[in-house]
Amino acid sequence: MDQTIPEREAAFGKIFSARILKRKTMIRKLEHALVTADDIIPGDVILCYSPDMREARSGRESGYSHAAICCERGSILESSGGGVRLTNAAALLDEYGHVAVLRNTKAWDGNRLSLLSKFADASLGKQFNLSGLKEYDAQREEALSTQLRRIKGYFDNDEAPEARPSSRLFCSELVVSAFIETGVIGKSAAPAFRPCTFLPQDIAIDLIFGFFIGYILPYPGYRIPEDDLFINYALDENFMKSV
């Protein structure tokens, strides 16, 4: 039997109430997964989310379209359209939606942090690698198809070492280069980590760059998408307590 208008309204009200309750529960659970700009420390990787950048193509589905790295307290190194520069969390939040912070505490000792600072100084002013970004798909396919040969060649001493950082760098290329130049990614592993073959989403799913430690929101009440790349970690209180 068809529902009457009052019955349909009542059913809709129950569905709407259930969705509101689900959303409130999610917000409450996410409270322990929120950090602030003051919590960011050198070595942290910053991934910036933009809903407008979500694409169906591989490596771009998550909406995390920009990557940067903290090189000093309050100072974040990034490569954007204007080239490599220093910025901060507030400026990133003005440009993107939320940001996710990744941290690998065991990777960054005093010597590596010093090397990171030197890398930042040497990288400032380099141009944005737009052509390299456009060639990402082809370069990643080539890198994956030749990865085993290059790794074997390194250990057999017949493969040329990876080139030093380019004079042009796109955002995630800059971050991966920082990990290589500071030794977090060692020479033996470098053949498998070609900077030009990483997008922000590739960084997000590789634990060498750190574990998710929390979100920074642009304003109170901002909604993290329910299918966010890190949402399962964020909702797992036991996981969050362990990082």
Q: Which residue in this structure is represented by tokens 């529960």?
A: 25
What confidence score (pLDDT) does residue 16 get?
44
Domain contains 213 = yes
Q: Domain of 68: which CATH number?
A: 3.90.1720
Domain contains 15 = no
Domain contains 13 = no
What confidence score (pLDDT) does residue 102 get?
97
The pTM of this model reads 0.81
Domain housing 198: 34-242
Domain contains 24 = no
What confidence score (pLDDT) does residue 151 get?
66
Domain contains 10 = no
- The residues, any chain, with a CB within 8 Å of residue 48's CB and separated by 6 or more, are 64, 65, 66, 67, 68, 92, 95, 96, 97, 99, 200
- The residues, any chain, with a CB within 8 Å of residue 192's CB and separated by 6 or more, are 147, 150, 151
What confidence score (pLDDT) does residue 236 get?
77
Residues of the chain with pLDDT under 50: 1, 11-23
Count: domains in the chain: 1
Domain contains 182 = yes
Domain contains 3 = no
Domain contains 130 = yes
107, with CB counted inside 10 A (0-12, 13-18, 19+), is middle
